[in-house]
Amino acid sequence: MLASLASNKQKFYNSEMRYSSTLGDSVKIVHAFLTAKRVDAVPKTPLLNYEINPNDLRHPKSDFLYRLGHSSVLMHIDSTWILTDPVFSERASPIQWAGPKRFHPAPITASSLPYIGIVIISHDHYDHLDKATIKAIDEKVGVFVTPLKVGDRLQNWGISREKIIQLDWWQSVSLNNIELVSTPSQHFSGRGLLDRNQTLWSSWVILGSKHRIFFSGDSGYFSGFKSIGERYGPFDFTLMEAGAYNSLWSDIHMMPEESVQAHIDLKGKFMIPIHNGTFDLSMHPWYEPLERISAITANRGVQLVTPAFGEQVVLDAPSLKNRWWLEQSANSNLEIAQF
């Protein structure tokens, strides 16, 4: 089934639910933010952040990846550099003097990146699609691969149309002998008040000769994960959204238990939680997603990989359960809040 586009309104919608935020929903969310008793919303000390030496990226001999922050992952697969949802700006916001601010700098600058064969975009929200970053890396990118209509935004920013590939759900493209598949997610899109759902949102399947990787983008939990797992699993790694969650919006952002279940549905081997540790986008402590995921995966027998930002993960021999965040949170032994 392809993504649905209502021709009369030119809007995309989810396959299992219609997400619409009513005024009442907005009031509940604003009230929750205003009245929440925040604990450790941001780190009290600088986060562990390994600076990536550009010289170490010049002649890679194996497949590996780095978490750069939030949902930005730099990976080397089959001699090709791939970058997901690159955001290097200080804030995930349309303006750089206000909005969610980074907890840590990116472990490598945009100017120091190697030639990126493929940039993958999941959707157009500011914490995943950053205009300044896209323009900064354009000259060293081979192809931008996006969901439908997201590529139009890139063209409006000056990116050449010839460098952009836009895919519907379940459509695929082969680049440098790597197959990329745009797969469903349960989310929404828009960068302003008047453009809700005018661009598509996707998760992504990345199929190399040795490694199969799933990149979740943003999503609520839905049966699509099982469908993706049946078609393209098992996966060596799942890069799973796990952060910025709350029961008030769990239909578009998974709770930790759901993130782990999605990994299982996908038939994943190693799970790497993303979408956490960089921006304050919810009401939980900054470290809570990693702590909750760590406990849940232990109970369910899931192999968890939690690299610090800029720490290399060798795909053939990943290091398991590096709980680096505990050393950086004086309150890490507090009971984890349930939302």
The 3-state DSSP class for residue 106 equals coil
* Other CB atoms within 10 Å distance of the CB of residue 192: 8
Q: Strand 72-77 relative to strand 80-84: parallel, antiparallel, unpaired? A: antiparallel
d(CA 188, CA 219): 9
Please report whether residue 260 resides in a domain.
yes
Q: What is the pLDDT of residues 178-226, one digit of tens each?
A: 999 999 999 999 999 899 999 999 999 999 999 999 999 999 999 999 9
Please report whether residue 46 resides in a domain.
no
Whether residue 253 has pLDDT greater than 50: yes
d(CA 302, CA 104): 28
| Ramachandran angles phi, psi of 91, nearest 5° | -130, 145
Please report whether residue 29 resides in a domain.
no
The 3-state DSSP class for residue 163 equals helix
Predicted local distance difference test score (pLDDT) of residue 285 = 96
Prediction pTM value? 0.93
* End-to-end Cα distance, the chain: 33
pLDDT band at 334 (very low <50, low <70, confident <90, very high): very low
Please report whether residue 11 resides in a domain.
no
Cα 52 to chain centroid distance, Å, stands at 20
Please report whether residue 235 resides in a domain.
yes
Q: Which domain holds residue 150?
A: 65-89+102-328
- Fill in the DSSP letter of residue 319: P
Which residue type occupies 86?
A: P
The CATH number that applies at residue 206 is 3.60.15.10
Please report whether residue 113 resides in a domain.
yes
Burial label for 288, CB within 10 Å (0-12, 13-18, 19+), is buried
Are the CB atoms for 151 and 165 separated by under 8 Å? yes
Structural domains in the chain (count)? 1
Mean pLDDT across the chain: 92
Higher pLDDT, 85 or 247: 85
List the structure tokens of 99.
């909005």
Whether residue 1 has pLDDT greater than 60: no
List the structure tokens of 118.
């493929």
d(CA 89, CA 180): 26
Q: How far is CA 220 from CA 2, 248, 276, 326, in A?
A: 18, 12, 15, 27
Please report whether residue 185 resides in a domain.
yes
Q: What is the pLDDT of residues 10-68, one digit of tens each?
A: 799 999 976 666 656 666 656 566 677 788 999 999 899 999 999 999 999 999 999 99
Helix (H) / strand (E) element for 294: namely: helix 288-300
Higher pLDDT, 339 or 63: 63
Helix (H) / strand (E) element for 151: namely: helix 150-156
Scanning the structure block, which residue is given the tokens 């945009």? 110
Q: What is the pLDDT of residues 99-149, one digit of tens each?
A: 999 999 999 999 999 999 999 999 999 999 999 999 999 999 999 999 999
Please report whether residue 134 resides in a domain.
yes
